[in-house]
Chain A
Amino acid sequence: MSDLNTVTAAEAPGGQPNVPHGPVKKDKPRSLAADAWSELRRRKIFWIAIVLVAFILVMSFWPSLFTSADPRACSLSNQYKGPSGSALFGYDFQGCDVYAKVVNGAFNSIRVGVFSTLVAGIIGLIFGMASGYFGGWVDAVLSRFIDIMLGVPFLLAGIVLSRRLSSDPASDGVFAVTLTLGLLSWTSGARVMRSAVISAKQQDYVAAARMLGAKPSRLILQHILPNSIASYIVLLTLLLGINIASEATLSFLGVGLKGDAISWGIMIAEGTQFARTQPWPLVWPAIFLGVTVLAFIMLGDAVRDAFDPKLR
């Protein structure tokens, strides 16, 4: 505050005393990313999430590290056998090794989750940036379209679209479910990207670059995108968890993965029917699904908290 103003300038509302911001010890000024990283490093929840995610990824790509049993080698003579040394989680009603199935189910969950999130991420990125950057009628049309998308509850749209896409009875449904989830889950990403671009556009340096004659494409790639991408990636991490859960839900209802595809959702559906006789074929896939989703949500949540200083 300049000295001239000390007497007559309007006082800041709230009447709180001048508490200096930032740590008292004099650090070098740090970037937001470095700040967020040092915040993240101290959080237990972040490390738990990282370990879980790593574990799940290893399990989905190298299931042979965990089990040598064939999840499709089922024999009715093993029906409902309890846990044993050869089958840690016992057998289900078709006599399949539950442990082998659960371990091998990770691959489909991750595959559908990652690819559907990528599809949604790309659609959301393009639509959100177009909406925010061009504004005007492009924004109006896209925003109304998102409103309409949100007018249909996610699962209902999922049921209809997934049925529509997997009309071929021979397919295992992986492609159909991935596309369904990708096409339906981009709206929140588009909204986040749109507001990020709009606020970035109002920054002085972007206006300056524009006045210096920078082309729109260059502006987007060099100035706007890097500033908005961090929060977008966090959002996608959360979406990955949600999409994995959605795949299981669709599979559970019978419109997701089909045939002999191994899915935790199908296992839960089958396990539920026979839970009175033998609970383990229900419990294990449920736990694995729950922990997987939790791991991604925890990761996204922790990173978001670290990047959002307001919540600290």
Chain B
Amino acid sequence: MFRYIVRRLLQMVLTFFGATFLVYALIFANQNDPIQALAGERPITESQRLALTQRYHLDEGFFMQYWYYIKGLLTGDFGTSLTGRKIGDMMVDAWPVTARLALIAIVIAAVFSVTFGVYSAIRRGGLFDNLSLVVTLVLLAMPIVVIAPLFQLIFGIQLGWFPPTATRDATFWQLLLPAIVLACIVIAPEMRVTRTSVVENLRADYVRTARAKGLTRMRVIWVHVLRNSLIPVITLIGVDLGSLLAGAIVTEHVFNIPGVGFNLARAINTEDGPLVVGFVSILVILFLFINLLVDLLYAALDPRIRYE
């Protein structure tokens, strides 16, 4: 377990530097006028120009610039947006909303994909299984830019079942429909992996043993098979987090939820370069960190890794 964690941490450090360098290079490398690039098409004043030059150390070499950038990230100094607000403060305001949204979405997705995935697997080839194969295929293919506006239109505006937009405090009720939208992106892959994994595990020898022990079918499936089947599903949740993050940008934009994605989308629209850089960097770090957590959870679920 210890060696596994250490190795995983070392990997994360490497990925952290690599990923932030990549992001930074994409933004600043080989720019004729990096300041104008940060500000986009909007005009900037001389004082802003000076502030940006200082902030990003644009008068120094590229690697020094990257060093200052990393130092900022590690000390929690994410800079200031073009509107003058501290990016760190904006993040503090925004992240609880996004975290709640993502959490509701993950719970919905996990409950649905695991129950339906297991049910599909034990009734393999049945009507439900075939139907769910078609439904997951459609869900798998639907881009978030299709699902989010259409769900808002149908369930929020036309049918009026859910509030179509959120207010500043973003209540649970307001977040439910966007959370369902977000869940839609991850339900399909998670359900398919659950199904495949359960089907494989149902054939395993230990299932035969569990049945020979006179355990009920429910116990064999939900205790013995499920724990083994969840291992690949958990890894997938880590991978899916990336699409969940991307989904949150679109979903929060559509439903007007004042979270991280909403701020990022607005920063793109208002051409607020520093804000985009800051938020993207924070999200990349967050993504890496959660992936680390998922890997540790994976180890907790599978003793064969724990004792490696």
Contact = CB atoms under 8 A, between A and B. Distances in A.
Interface string B271-308: 00000110010011001100100000000000000000
Interface string A262-286: 0001001101100110010011001
A156 B41 contact: no
Interface string A9-27: 0000110000000000000
B88 interface: no
A155 B141 contact: no
A156 B284 contact: yes
A228 B89 CA distance: 51
Interface stretch (A141-149, A191-199, A229-237): A141-149
Contacts of B205: 13-14
B276 A159 contact: yes
A282 B15 CA distance: 40
B221 to A, nearest CB: 20
Interface in A42-89: 45
Contacts of A271: 149
Q: Among B27, B140, B241, which residue has the most Cβ atoms of chain A within 10 A?
A: B140
Interface string B134-155: 0001101111111001101100
A209 to B, nearest CB: 35
A282 B37 contact: no
A268 B141 contact: no
B18 A161 contact: no
Query: Which of A153, A164, A275, A293 is the most central at the interface, judged by chain B CB atoms within 10 Å of its CB?
Result: A153
Given A156-B283, A282-B153, A289-B146, A252 B23 contact: no
A276 B157 contact: yes
A184 B219 CA distance: 45
A37 interface: no
B269 A254 contact: yes
A164 B26 contact: yes
Name the prevailing secondary structure of the B interface residues.
helix
A145 to B, nearest CB: 8
B143 A151 contact: no
Contact of B265 (A153, A161, A253, A301): A253
Contacts of A32: none
B149 A268 contact: yes
A167 interface: yes
B46 to A, nearest CB: 21
B157 A275 contact: yes
Interface in B4-28: 11, 14-16, 18-19, 22-23, 26-27
A213 interface: no
A17 B158 CA distance: 59
A287 B147 CA distance: 10
A156 B142 contact: no
Contact of B18 (A148, A276, A297): A148
B250 A249 contact: yes
A169 interface: yes
A181 to B, nearest CB: 13
Interface string B95-127: 000000000000000000000000000000000
Nearest to A279: B153
A253 B27 CA distance: 18
A301 B269 CA distance: 36
A241 interface: yes
Nearest to B291: A151
B242 interface: yes
A245 interface: yes
Nearest to A286: B146
B284 A151 contact: yes
B268 interface: yes
B276 to A, nearest CB: 7
A293 B141 contact: yes
A249 to B, nearest CB: 5
Given A153-B284, A254-B268, A275-B149, A164 B27 contact: yes
Q: Which of A154, A159, A169 has the most CB of B within 10 A?
A: A159
A168 B280 CA distance: 22
A294 B141 contact: yes
A241 B144 CA distance: 13
Nearest to A145: B18
A248 interface: yes
A157 interface: yes
Contacts of A286: 145-146, 149-150
A312 to B, nearest CB: 11
A247 to B, nearest CB: 10
A151 B19 contact: yes
A152 interface: yes
A249 B246 CA distance: 9
Contacts of A159: 264, 268, 276, 280
Given A144-B14, A147-B11, A294-B142, 17 more contacts: A148-B18, A152-B19, A152-B23, A152-B287, A153-B241, A157-B22, A159-B276, A167-B37, A241-B141, A246-B143, A249-B246, A254-B265, A271-B149, A279-B153, A282-B150, A294-B138, A294-B141
Interface of A: 13-14, 45, 144-145, 147-149, 151-157, 159-161, 163-164, 167, 169, 241, 245-246, 248-249, 252-255, 265, 268-269, 271-272, 275-276, 279, 282-283, 286-287, 289-290, 293-294, 296-298, 301
19 contacts: A148-B19, A149-B22, A151-B284, A151-B288, A152-B22, A152-B284, A153-B245, A154-B243, A155-B249, A159-B276, A241-B141, A249-B246, A271-B149, A272-B149, A275-B157, A282-B149, A282-B150, A293-B141, A294-B137
